[in-house]
Amino acid sequence: MLGLDYDNSAILVAHLGNGASACAVKNGKSVDTTMGLTPLEGLVMGTRSGDIDPNVFSFLNKQLGYSLDEITDILNKKSGLLGLSEMDNDCRVIEDAAAQGNERAQLTLDVFCNVLAKKLAGFAAEMGRIDALVFTGGIGENSSVIRKNVLERLSIFGFEVDEKTNEETFRGKSGVITKPGSTVAMVVATNEELMIARDTEALIAH
């Protein structure tokens, strides 16, 4: 879409849905991801905490009496946007509450965006440059609020959001959302089903 040289490119991908991860893509290959052994590691998600201090396990067990299964359940199913906001795992509900002045909702959005911005900045350091930052997934494709918040945190890398195109890009629309002369940030509509179908076909073929 940008006409970049595939073999000489450095792209950051922020895939933000109910599950969320970021990826550093250099010369068309994934060279780093926020996910770990499981998808729990990394970004704040709908109900997953993302990165935590591993000592949280012994603290919650010894100090508060939670079992291993209970702690695993809390970190995977009751944390993230849901746990921080104490409202919902759906970003829309939290955005609406924040727009009405709910401070806890605003804090939740800020934590989500701050963690993401820090991860993307780390990936930029790893790759040495940024040709484009791509937002995708339910939140990445539809939330101009989250995209603006993240891009403002990354202004040191030369991102300048174009408010109008940012607000007009949603519901499956793809395109650049930054001003001319800015480091490029764009929205690309995801198509996970197609990717899964291609991978499945490749596996069956062997």
Q: Enumerate the known binding-site residues.
A: 15-19, 90-92, 138-142, 192
Other residues' Cβ atoms within 10 Å of the Cβ of residue 8: 10
Q: For ligand AMP, give the closer residue by CB, 45 or 127.
A: 45
Q: For ligand AMP, give the closer residue by CB, 141 or 162.
A: 141
Contacts of 78 (CB under 8 A, 6+ apart): 47
Distance between CA atoms of residues 167 and 115, nearest Å = 23
| Chain residue whose CB lies nearest ligand AMP | 138
**Shortest Cβ distance from residue 90 to ligand AMP (Å)?**
4
**Shortest Cβ distance from residue 11 to ligand AMP (Å)?**
19
Known binding-site residues for ATP equal: 15-19, 90-92, 138-142
**Shortest Cβ distance from residue 26 to ligand AMP (Å)?**
24
**Shortest Cβ distance from residue 204 to ligand AMP (Å)?**
26
Distance between CA atoms of residues 39 and 205, nearest Å = 28
Report whether 49 contacts 79 (CB < 8 A). Answer: yes
Q: For ligand AMP, give the closer residue by CB, 127 or 185.
A: 185
Known binding-site residues for Mg(2+) equal: 192
Q: For ligand AMP, give the closer residue by CB, 68 or 196.
A: 196
Report whether 9 contacts 129 (CB < 8 A). Answer: no
Distance between CA atoms of residues 176 and 172, nearest Å = 13
**Shortest Cβ distance from residue 201 to ligand AMP (Å)?**
23
Q: For ligand AMP, give the closer residue by CB, 10 or 91.
A: 91
For ligand AMP, the binding residues (CB under 6 A) are 17-18, 46, 90-92, 95, 137-139, 142-143
What residues are paired with 24 via a beta bridge? 12, 32
